[in-house]
């Protein structure tokens, strides 16, 4: 097929696969040069069953919405028919995160609402409830170009299997690029592949460029056609439409992220659907800090408090209002006390105020801000719990009973101390590294977060290993679990964590300057790795907090 086709040409390129009694099933097979997907790969691709009479593929774009082809849901996909918004006419389910359909992995959700796009063969499909675990494919920000190599993954027919039991993948080449669609050629697009993602790899992260809609079906079982060309509906130009129409499933909680990069300090938010806002320049909005060393943040009642350490060792505070505007940075060194050599800070909400931890010349300090935003002076935590050699990182969280949990990474080990609600401190530092963490290399990062009153911790090691555990209010620790699948196995230079609406969210900075993020749901299930993009420069550190704006 040369070029692309409008929705009026569905009849010439029907991709939906019939599902009927007695349909052959067979074993997984390759479609020409396409491959059966590796276990756990392309978990954003879904198998869509429309009333037991038709099958398509779909693409998960956030935790409760898919995008696929509108032609999957009309009475006769071979005719150009307008699809009505609302519930599907036939009961429709999506099987998500199940590479091998003979297994029970992944999740199955009913599709309860359709929002069609009127200018191309596309529809948004709402799932009955959110899913956890599978990855999302975020829409691309730039259009495909002719000759560009793209990839695809679908559950459609192959060259020798009528209804495969496995997801298959392939490589495509972009042909003509039109206003709403692109031509593609390469691995055959067969019946059942309608709605399959057409995506590119950009900076190590897949992004959705288009959705497969129609094809000549050359090379597909049952077809005598030799042409393998196909067309796909673009998604790069409708990001605003997607965001607007999926907003109904948002709650008021957002993850706030600060990224200190070689270009400055930037801020982004991740909403409850899993979508990130563009990174904004904090120093442009709140004032320049000379030789910015480090930044941290915490939120109270929707207001985000940002703390920055300047090259002069001074501490600065700025506030991001719930409405999105910024109050300028001001030097609070005189309020908390001057600590020459200050290089790191960590901060947490205490419910009515803030608890601030500082690291200066190897010593750990603590200060508090009350509900009236009045600060106490730095208190010497090291003087109470002991000096830890070569301390490089601090973290803090406020847990049930009014306890402030302080963590320090020093000499390749992790330590933990507690400030009780009456202001007294634990007798000395406890050695987190002395627990059965499963880490053999030196610890180079740690972060605390309070989730449902308990302390959750992430540890990173110099060899790229990452571990997670929970400390209950009674002082007992859970077994440390591996986070390699959730945060990758790359070596890292930074880590931070926070609680957002009862969920634990964590992110790391890799040695090559990438940000990788995951979250742990209240039921203990983890989401797949999400690589964050869009910040200027190379990331050096990150800070996370959760708020309701």
Condensed to tens digits (0 to 9), the pLDDT of residues 378-397 reads 999 999 999 999 999 999 99
Spell out where 33-167 has E strands: 35-36, 45-50, 54-62, 65-68, 92-96, 107-117, 122-127, 149-154
Q: What is the sign, positive or negative, of the torsion defined by CA atoms of 231, 236, 237, 239?
A: positive
Confidence category of residue 164, pLDDT binned at 50, 70, 90: confident
Q: What is the mean pLDDT of residues 215-219?
A: 89
Kindly report the backbone phi and psi dihedral angles of residue 307, in degrees, each rounded to the nearest multiple of 5, phi listed first.
-120, 135
- Among 245, 446, 477, residue whose Cα is nearest residue 359: 446
Q: Are 282 and 268 a contacting pair, CB within 8 Å?
A: no
Q: Give the separation between CA 199 and CA 205, rounded to whole angstroms.
A: 10
Report the distance separating Cα 140 and Cα 233, nearest Å: 13
* Residue 9 pLDDT: 37
Q: Which of 59, 50, 66, 57 is nearest to 18 (CA)?
A: 50
Tens of pLDDT, residue by residue over 2-32, are: 233 333 333 333 344 433 222 222 222 233 3
User: How many other β-carbons are positioned within 10 Å of the β-carbon of residue 171?
Assistant: 13
pLDDT over 60 (residue 1): no
**pLDDT band for position 116 (cuts 50, 70, 90):** very high
Over its C-alpha atoms, the chain yields an Rg (Å, rounded) of: 26
CA distances to 55, 115, 257, 315, 434 from 156, in Å: 8, 23, 39, 58, 52
For residue 160, name the pLDDT band (cuts at 50, 70, 90).
Answer: confident
Rounded to an integer, what distance in angstroms lies between the CA atom of residue 195 and that of residue 121?
A: 9
154 vs 191: CA distance, rounded Å: 10
Question: 58-92: per-residue pLDDT in tens?
Answer: 999 999 999 999 999 998 877 767 899 999 999 99
With 0-12 / 13-18 / 19 or more C-beta atoms within 10 angstroms meaning exposed / middle / buried, residue 294 is buried
Give dist(CA 78, CA 12) in Å, integer: 7
Measure the CA–CA gap between 335 and 378, rounded to whole angstroms.
9
Mean pLDDT computed over 301-305 = 87
Tell me which of 19-23, 188-192, 355-359, 440-444 is least confident. Answer: 19-23
224-277 residue pLDDT tens: 988 889 999 999 999 999 999 999 999 999 999 999 999 999 999 999 999 999
What pTM was estimated for this model as a whole? 0.89
Separation CA 169–CA 537 (nearest Å): 33
Domains of the chain are: 7-244 (2.40.10.120), 250-547 (2.120.10.80)
d(CA 459, CA 496): 10
Q: Which residues pair with 348 in a beta bridge?
A: 355
Token pair in block for residue 452: 């449902």
Tokens read off for 337: 């006390």
Q: How many CB atoms lie within 10 A of CB 28?
A: 17
> What is the per-residue pLDDT for 91?
97
Place of tokens 């601090």: 394
Q: Are 27 and 36 in contact (CB under 8 A)?
A: no
Task: Tell me what percent of the residues of the chain surpass a pLDDT of 90.
Answer: 80
Of 296, 272, 274, 306, nearest in space to 548 by CA? 272
Residues in a beta bridge with 267: 258, 280
Cα-Cα end-to-end distance for the chain:
49
Sorted by sequence, the CB contacts under 8 Å of residue 429 that are 6+ apart come out as: 385, 386, 388, 408, 415, 416, 417
Q: Give one word for 437, left, alpha or beta, with left for phi > 0 and alpha for psi -120 to 50.
A: alpha
How many beta carbons lie within 10 A of that of residue 87, not counting itself? 14
**pLDDT tens track for 448-480:** 999 999 999 999 999 999 999 999 989 999 999
Give me the pLDDT at residue 36, please. Answer: 61
Residue 230 burial by Cβ neighbours in a 10 Å radius (0-12, 13-18, 19+): buried
What pLDDT is recorded for position 35? Answer: 56
Dihedral sign computed on CA atoms, order 239, 244, 249, 255: positive
276-298 pLDDT per residue, tens: 999 999 999 999 999 999 999 99
Going by pLDDT thresholds of 50, 70 and 90, the confidence category of residue 326 is very high
The predicted pLDDT at position 11 comes to: 32
Q: Nearest-5° angle of CA 407, CA 413, CA 416?
A: 25
| 172: DSSP letter | E
Mean pLDDT of 512-527: 94
Name the phi and psi angles at 179, rounded to 5. Answer: -60, -40
């Amino acid at each position: 097929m040369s070029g692309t086709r409008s929705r009026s040409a569905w009849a010439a390129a029907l991709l939906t696969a019939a599902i009927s009694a007695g349909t052959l099933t067979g074993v997984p097979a390759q479609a020409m040069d396409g491959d059966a997907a590796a276990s756990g790969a392309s978990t954003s691709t879904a198998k869509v069953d429309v009333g037991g009479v038709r099958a398509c593929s779909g693409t998960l774009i956030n935790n409760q919405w898919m995008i696929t082809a509108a032609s999957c849901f009309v009475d006769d996909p071979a005719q150009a028919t307008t699809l009505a918004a609302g519930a599907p006419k036939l009961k429709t389910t999506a099987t998500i995160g199940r590479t091998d359909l003979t297994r029970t992995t992944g999740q199955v959700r009913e599709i309860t609402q359709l929002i069609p796009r009127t200018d191309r063969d596309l529809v948004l499909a709402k799932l009955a409830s959110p899913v956890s675990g599978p990855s999302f494919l975020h829409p691309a920000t730039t259009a495909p170009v002719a000759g560009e190599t793209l990839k695809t993954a679908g559950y459609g027919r192959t060259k020798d299997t009528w209804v495969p039991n496995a997801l298959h993948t392939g490589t495509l080449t972009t042909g003509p690029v039109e206003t709403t669609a692109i031509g593609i050629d390469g691995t055959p697009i067969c019946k059942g592949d309608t709605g399959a993602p057409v995506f590119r790899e950009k900076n190590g992260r897949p992004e959705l460029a288009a959705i497969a809609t129609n094809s000549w079906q050359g090379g597909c079982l049952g077809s005598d056609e030799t042409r393998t060309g196909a067309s796909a509906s673009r998604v790069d130009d409708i990001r605003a439409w997607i965001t607007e129409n999926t907003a109904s499933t948002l709650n008021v909680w957002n993850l706030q992220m600060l990224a200190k990069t070689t270009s400055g300090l930037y801020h982004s938010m991740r909403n409850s659907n899993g979508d990130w806002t563009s990174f904004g320049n904090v120093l442009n909005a709140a004032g320049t800090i000379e030789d910015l060393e480090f930044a941290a943040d915490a939120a109270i009642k929707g207001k985000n408090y940002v703390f920055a350490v300047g090259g002069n060792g001074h501490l600065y505070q700025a506030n991001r209002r719930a409405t999105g505007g910024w109050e300028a940075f001001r030097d609070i060194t005189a309020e908390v006390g001057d600590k020459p050599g200050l290089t790191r800070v960590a901060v947490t909400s205490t419910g009515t105020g803030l608890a601030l931890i500082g690291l200066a010349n190897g010593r750990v300090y603590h200060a508090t801000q009350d509900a009236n935003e009045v600060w106490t002076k730095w208190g010497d935590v090291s003087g109470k719990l002991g000096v830890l050699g070569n301390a490089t990182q601090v973290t803090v969280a406020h847990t049930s009973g009014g306890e402030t949990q302080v963590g320090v990474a020093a000499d390749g080990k992790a330590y933990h101390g507690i400030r009780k609600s009456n202001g007294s401190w634990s007798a000395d530092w406890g050695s987190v590294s002395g627990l059965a963490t499963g880490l053999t290399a030196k610890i180079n990062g740690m972060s605390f977060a309070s989730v449902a009153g308990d302390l959750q911790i992430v540890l990173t090691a110099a060899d790229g290993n990452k571990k997670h555990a929970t400390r209950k209010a009674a002082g007992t620790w859970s077994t440390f679990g591996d986070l390699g699948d959730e945060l990758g196995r790359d070596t890292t230079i930074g880590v931070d964590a926070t609680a957002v609406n009862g969920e634990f969210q964590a992110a790391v900075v890799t040695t090559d300057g990438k940000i990788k993020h995951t979250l742990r749901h209240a039921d203990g299930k983890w989401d797949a790795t999400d690589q964050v993009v869009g910040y200027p420069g190379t990331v050096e550190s990150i800070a996370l907090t959760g708020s309701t704006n």
